[in-house]
Chain A
Amino acid sequence: MALRKVAAVLAAAGIGLTACGQSSGGGGDTIELTIAQNAIAGGKNAAAADFVANWVIPQFEAAQKAKGKDVKVKFVPSGVDDEQYKTKLSLDLKSGKGADVIDIDGIWAGEFAEAGYIKPLADLVGAEADSWDGWAQIPESVQGLATYNGKKYALPIGTDGRVLYFNKTLFQKAGLPADWQPKSWQEILDAGTKLKSAGVPVPIQVNAGTAMGEATSMQGVLPLLAGAGGEVQKDGKWTGASQPLKDALGFYQKIYGGGLGDPKLQQEAKGRDKSFQQFAAGKIGILMEGDYFWRGVINPKDGVAPMADRDQTVGYALIPAIEPGKGIRGQDFVSMSGGALRTINPNSKHPKEAFELLTFTLSPEALKEETKDGNVRITPRTDVNKEILAGEPLLTYISDKVLPLTAFRPPVAVYPQVSVALQEATAAVVGGTAPDQAATAYQKKLEGLVGGAGNIIAP
């Protein structure tokens, strides 16, 4: 523990970041709690930040007061890339600091648990963690996001899915149908070619490269890998320079080497944000993205690149396999799903109250309040989803059509490093490297990450 703390401080001091955590102190009878999310008023995930500040905190404080407890909650906002948020959280937790209630990406659970940064909820708050009545409303697969080695480390906040978004106005210009649904990768490329002929600046944009981090994996290489029949990890063994990976990288080459995509957009530090802006401005024909794009980016109400005519202009389609029936599990269409988690900082001085705050944010009342006025998302609770998704076509589509055929990333600690290696492989192809060569380099790096060639499925 001492080594971890000293090293964390040195690492932070040496590289210029400060572990700016918030301790949960408290004077007198007042219990002070802090809640941290990668959300900030007027910026990233603004709606979530506003909801916590304007509804969760006053309502929770009032509810606690009614129970005779004086509880003060403070929101700790962030508005940074997910990788930076993860670094900051890791340093906070390593240093024994950080907010009492924290949001993390589902794929960090394994590595955070192994590092001792998060602990099973039952260890922190006792039996009430497992007896929370909300668990009955959360499907097993979604609970799995928050489970590591058979123990529940967090509460899932929700799940999501990936689709192909397209601009119907540009499609009309290119003579493509408004109810477009490609059945193979070739049909995507054909549509891209038509869009290009019609003068669309960027016909297809599929996330690639390292600049956008996990977005490249979730909205790029992993759905393509699944579409080619591959999985990043299967039965404990990892997929190396296999044919599915070469196919996926080959698809990137056809897009970015064939003038159908803008390779520079994938290389810029803010490339993903720019692609959002360009899609909203009607310059991109087809974009592979998650439902966050619909909810948080082109949302006419408070998206970061709002499209006033989103509902009329933007179409969505399932991501096809390379050819019908060639996707994972023999599927015609594929997707990837993830999900965020909300958990308790083991350093919290008030874990029981923190757990109350945590469950309060996932109560039906809170979720309904959070998702009203157009801020709908797929919540972890089926009881709430039934009610809130009714008037939301895209999310209903994802809930009904995408989630049944989706796949999840392996919930293991080494996955984030494997993901970076995959991002590097796509970056190489976008930069001009041949897919086979990039796949071979990926396998070499993979061997170092997963403990040798013995843990990799033979190509």
Chain B
Amino acid sequence: MAQATSSPPDIIDEQAPARRSYNSDAAGLGRLRAGMFVAPALLLIAAFLVFPALWVLYLGLTNYRLTGIAAAEPQFVGPANFLDAVSNPVFWDSTWLTVQFVLGSAVIGQVGLGFTIAWLLRDRRGPLKRLVEGLVILAWILPSAVVSFLWVALLDRDGGTLNALLGLPGFAWLLDHPMLSIIIFNTWRGTAFSMMLYGAALGNVPPSHLESARLAGASGWQQLRDVVFPHIRGHILTNLLLISLWTFNDFTPFLITAGGPDGRSEILAVHVYKVALQSGELGYGAAVSTVILLINLVVAVFYLRLLRSKK
């Protein structure tokens, strides 16, 4: 028994050096070939992602402007723009508004509503399902600029469709509730993606598991919590990551409220546009962009770790 277990390793040991040598050469060649295949992609990433990011970081350390003498001869100002940003109440207001926007329209809105619709429609067939899917997907396939103008017309206080339907003449959605307006808009616009993703994911939950849970007396919520969610955890986290980052960087609300009134819907993407291009402070805008990039990286790393844990 002991010999039987020790013999195979001896044989392996005798052959091992030659195989290692062969494997080493092959691995080297393989790595070289792999490197050649990957090199163009790496070059593109370096050219279009890494270099611009570093360049934006550098611009954030200058007083570079869109016009004026600082457009022609920008000066290195060190971390002044970053310090200005973190001491600027508008930046923190924008950050807080962005958090509201992401939580409201991405997490609760698109992901939550998308899952709910997918769950409610999971076993349905026929015209109702097609109608709901059609309506939701329509919002997703229309260009942002088009749907933005549609929503401005819909929510307008004078002659807006929604006020006409609800009998609320003069109700100023965009002025009195600008954040709520853009949260509803973004939820409406992006729910289709989540709905389709969860629809596909729910199709992969073995019906037998749900059936077993039902037979064991599990309530609907318990079935969701103990059977469905663990099964589609990866889908949920990936979707959360993508939707959150998209929403975090979304500029479309600018087309609806222009960040107003009085900055009450000035999320970070709009804040950057306003300071960099409307006010022409490109250096400061680059500094804020860098901060946004860092926040995105932190969020992405957090989600990815969550995704890998307990996998």
> Measuring CB to CB, which residues of chain A are less than 8 angstroms from any residue of chain B?
3-4, 6-7, 10-11, 13-17, 83, 87, 90-91, 94, 108, 110-112, 114-117, 209-211, 264, 267-269, 274, 413-414, 416-417, 420, 427-428, 431
Contact = CB atoms under 8 A, between A and B. Distances in A.
Contacts of B67: 90, 108, 111-112, 114-115, 117, 413, 416
B251 A16 contact: yes
Given A10-B52, A15-B272, A268 B261 contact: yes
Given A11-B277, A211-B260, A269-B258, A413 B74 contact: no
Interface residues on B, range: 20 to 34
Contacts of B69: 114-115, 413
B262 A427 contact: yes
Interface string B274-285: 001111101001
11 contacts: A4-B71, A4-B72, A10-B56, A11-B285, A115-B66, A211-B260, A264-B175, A267-B175, A268-B260, A268-B261, A417-B280
A118 to B, nearest CB: 10
A117 B70 CA distance: 12
A23 B135 CA distance: 44
A274 B282 CA distance: 31
B198 interface: no
B66 A90 contact: yes
B55 interface: yes
Closest A-B pairs by Cβ, 10 of them: A267-B261, A115-B71, A111-B67, A269-B258, A114-B69, A111-B68, A413-B68, A116-B72, A87-B277, A114-B68
B276 to A, nearest CB: 6
Contact of A17 (B172, B261, B277): B277
B188 interface: no
B257 interface: yes
Nearest to B258: A269
B183 interface: no
Contacts of A90: 66-67, 71, 280
A447 B68 CA distance: 18
B273 interface: yes
A16 B175 CA distance: 26
A136 to B, nearest CB: 32
A15 B276 contact: yes
Nearest to A268: B175
A14 B289 contact: yes
Contacts of A111: 67-68, 71
Looking at A112, A268, A414, A420, which has the most chain B CB atoms within 10 Å of its CB? Answer: A268
B64 interface: yes
Given A87-B280, A112-B67, A264-B261, 10 more contacts: A15-B277, A17-B277, A90-B280, A94-B71, A117-B67, A209-B262, A211-B260, A267-B262, A416-B67, A427-B262
Given A11-B282, A211-B261, A269-B257, A87 B55 contact: no
A152 B175 CA distance: 44
A258 B55 CA distance: 51
Contacts of B172: 264
B118 to A, nearest CB: 31
Given A267-B262, A268-B174, A413-B68, A11 B280 contact: no
Contacts of A115: 65-69, 71-72
A3 B74 contact: yes
Contacts of A4: 71-72
Contacts of B276: 11, 15
Contacts of A417: 279-280
Contacts of B262: 209-210, 267, 427-428, 431
Contacts of B251: 15-16
B268 to A, nearest CB: 12
A83 B52 contact: no
B215 to A, nearest CB: 54
A7 B258 contact: no
Nearest to B67: A111
A117 B69 CA distance: 10
A202 to B, nearest CB: 12
B250 to A, nearest CB: 11
Contacts of A16: 251, 273
A14 B52 contact: yes
Contacts of A267: 175, 260-262
Interface in B49-76: 52, 55-56, 59, 64-69, 71-72, 74
A417 B257 CA distance: 22
Contacts of B285: 11, 15
B159 to A, nearest CB: 11
Looking at B59, B65, B71, which has the most chain A CB atoms within 10 Å of its CB? Answer: B71
Contacts of B59: 7, 10
A414 B72 CA distance: 15
A112 B67 CA distance: 6
Interface string B236-262: 000000000000000100000110111
A20 to B, nearest CB: 14
B84 to A, nearest CB: 9
Contacts of B68: 110-111, 114-115, 413-414
Contacts of B260: 210-211, 267-269
A211 B174 CA distance: 14
A451 to B, nearest CB: 12
Nearest to B279: A420
A94 B66 contact: yes
Interface in B144-190: 157-158, 172, 174-175
B55 A7 contact: yes
A267 B258 CA distance: 10
Contacts of B56: 10, 14
A4 B65 CA distance: 10
A112 B66 CA distance: 9
A17 B174 CA distance: 25
Contacts of A15: 251, 272-273, 276-277, 285
Contacts of A6: 55
Contacts of A17: 277
